[in-house]
Structure 1
């Protein structure tokens, strides 16, 4: 076992495991409080001066990174040594460049798809189920083309795979994976122009298994953003000044979406696995050691004056640029944000969201956890001025 690093005891490790999302299961459950581990982490940081701590896990020790300096080392300075684990599917898609595929050429087509699907959300009551159904159509059409728009079974299989992974139901996961892969291959072989599947088909030297992985990661990465879209819509319904600014300025709307992702990140813990021996404060960690950066805790750190506020301005005035967790993302992140912003803009262009309930009141701190399924807004059609198209 490595020496020279502080180690969490058995009880402390259990408490951390219960409070944090472990490296082998980076996706959170809806409504889970991502900040339960904040007092534990603050205590560890104070006790050990910010040094990383070895935590006991079911698959052996994992390194829990606490300081900004060490987080930057893992996430930016030694990217060939600290690699995203294959089990961190969404993170591999959203945090790493997904196999170098030039997907940004599809941005105009993806934005048009988002606008078309969002047109169904401009009247009546919009809840998460309704919004998610439209957004999953966006994801399927972007990745596989219009022929996959109505393939709801594909999305259900992906949800089942994620659930089986969280429960470590290996046999169930293998069964679902086989059905999921077969369905993906059917859509990939259709290779519709203007879709990611079409782009994969045009890319020379792509093995079928590699294309399968790219498409699966993209569908996962796009699909999971629906919670943030619902949360953004709900936040705008209770913050009229930001709603007005977002309707007038796409950059402000993008900032609102990024703020929802900061407050309730879909990947609350960034995980890496060491690809080679690494040296930490005099200790040597073998290759294959999980490294965990508790992103959600850093993004809602008590030292941030805006920690528990809805503050889109931090993405516009340079405040967030000083934070390591807000560093510019890869092309996949930018493309996903662009499509999500276009989706919201299409809704706001035609209607104003009005709050139903007081779950996200502007007069109270933003809660640590919000289950998107509890959010609802009423869309009221906007009146157009005469002569305005």
Structure 2
């Protein structure tokens, strides 16, 4: 690697590996605390003057971004960075499908309005939403498709290449079967109707959208549990679609499904007088900044920040908007409709006090411990979430 930029020591790199959750890894892992990583980042910022730091990772050297200024550069200069082919937008006119997707979400949510709802139950229902949206009704019960995707993600995370190749072949074959049906009203149907989409590209598009929708389940469970534990916010969310969308964004801010953004330099890039070669990994630890001690709302459930302009002034909020975020926008719209279908038909009540409004929210969260009890709702005729 080139000289000029500060290099983390071996001990610093080990401490970072133990606290910062890398891209592609679930946020909720034992010992992975974004506030602990925030303290370590503050140490590095003080020691190295806020400049990016070269750290040692499992997959080679990486550039760790510390300051707001440098983070904004990475987020704004998309031309210099590749985000991985699975994350790139494809320019499909998905807005035409949004009303149908919202109807699907509301329909599936109707199965979660009684009894006890935990993450397993909610996730199973949400994955049906994802499969129906992407591939149509013929994929609604294809649980194996979701299982293969989860296995592929785990294999990629642990660099199990042989396992990854085996699962990939089975997964691709299953996707192709669904794509060939090209059901009207599904993303597969839209891909088939779009001129110039090659078979391989259609396969990639479908996999991208299924993954993008699928990862929303954790945020949905977190938000439902937060609403159950915060009666005032729950009341507003049941009556106002925009407020409910803000609640979902808060659930994602507090425990983000993507706690660190990873970019790979597409060309040679200059950093403080040092030229990094193409292919250099650049890491932005978003989660640590979203819970920074300087934020007065860091550890509280504060949907208002997404409505009054507060979040718009925070650089880390750019991950929720901007070019290339088609999947984010669509997932937020469909996710909001899904939550609306639950909280407007029944009242969620918390099981336990894990997310009490009377004390700071935990920095990490074990989804398996989240449970809410659904009770009949007294509110009828609430506004439709379709505008989301």
TM-score band, normalised by shorter chain: over 0.9
Secondary structure of the corresponding residue to residue 26 of structure 2: coil
Q: 2:141 aligns with which of 141, 150, 159?
A: 150
Whole-Å separation in 1 of the counterparts to 2:114 and 2:316:
36
Whole-Å separation in 1 of the counterparts to 2:298 and 2:378:
36
Aligned pair 1:28/2:19, yes or no? Answer: no
Whole-Å separation in 2 of the counterparts to 1:31 and 1:376:
19
Whole-Å separation in 2 of the counterparts to 1:382 and 1:39:
44
How many angstroms does 1:27 deviate by? 2.8
How many angstroms does 1:2 deviate by? 1.3
Aligned pair 1:382/2:377, yes or no? Answer: yes
1:85 aligns to what?
84
1:219 aligns to what?
210
2:384 aligns to what?
none
1:228 aligns to what?
219
1:169 aligns to what?
160
How many angstroms does 1:215 deviate by? 0.6
RMSD over aligned Cα, in angstroms? 1.4
How many angstroms does 1:59 deviate by? 2.8
**Unmatched 5+ residue regions in structure 2?**
382-388
Q: Contact between 1:44 and 1:50, CA under 8 Å: does it hold in 2?
A: yes
How many angstroms does 1:245 deviate by? 0.2
Secondary structure of the corresponding residue to residue 174 of structure 2: helix
1:56 aligns to what?
56
Whole-Å separation in 2 of the counterparts to 1:310 and 1:351:
21
1:227-376 to structure 2, matched below 5 A, reads: 227-327=218-318, 328-329=321-322, 330-376=325-371
Secondary structure of the corresponding residue to residue 117 of structure 2: strand
1:5 aligns to what?
5
Secondary structure of the corresponding residue to residue 61 of structure 1: strand
**What TM-score do you get using the length of structure 2 for normalisation?**
0.94
1:102 aligns to what?
93
Change (3 A) 1:285 1:384: closer
Change (3 A) 1:303 1:29: closer
Q: Contact between 1:26 and 1:270, CA under 8 Å: does it hold in 2?
A: no
Secondary structure of the corresponding residue to residue 37 of structure 1: helix
Change (3 A) 1:384 1:256: closer
How many angstroms does 1:58 deviate by? 2.9
How many angstroms does 1:21 deviate by? 2.9
Which deviations, in whole Å up to 9, do the C-alpha atoms of 1:168-196 show, x marking residues without a partner?
Answer: 11111110111001000000111000000
Whole-Å separation in 2 of the counterparts to 1:354 and 1:237:
5
Would you say how many aligned residue pairs link Structure 1 and Structure 2? 375
Q: Contact between 1:104 and 1:331, CA under 8 Å: does it hold in 2?
A: no
Whole-Å separation in 1 of the counterparts to 2:27 and 2:156:
12
Which deviations, in whole Å up to 9, do the C-alpha atoms of 1:329-377 show, x marking residues without a partner?
Answer: 4332111101000000011111000010111111111111112221000
Secondary structure of the corresponding residue to residue 271 of structure 1: strand
Whole-Å separation in 1 of the counterparts to 2:187 and 2:362:
37
How many angstroms does 1:219 deviate by? 0.6
Q: Contact between 2:24 and 2:157, CA under 8 Å: does it hold in 1?
A: no
Change (3 A) 1:184 1:385: closer
Change (3 A) 1:287 1:383: same
Which deviations, in whole Å up to 9, do the C-alpha atoms of 1:122-176 show, x marking residues without a partner?
Answer: 1111111111111000000000001000000000001111111122111111101
2:176 aligns to what?
185
How many angstroms does 1:275 deviate by? 0.6
Q: Contact between 1:351 and 1:380, CA under 8 Å: does it hold in 2?
A: yes
Secondary structure of the corresponding residue to residue 262 of structure 2: strand
Q: Contact between 2:27 and 2:256, CA under 8 Å: does it hold in 1?
A: no
Which deviations, in whole Å up to 9, do the C-alpha atoms of 1:251-278 show, x marking residues without a partner?
Answer: 0000000000000111111000001110
Whole-Å separation in 2 of the counterparts to 1:70 and 1:217:
28
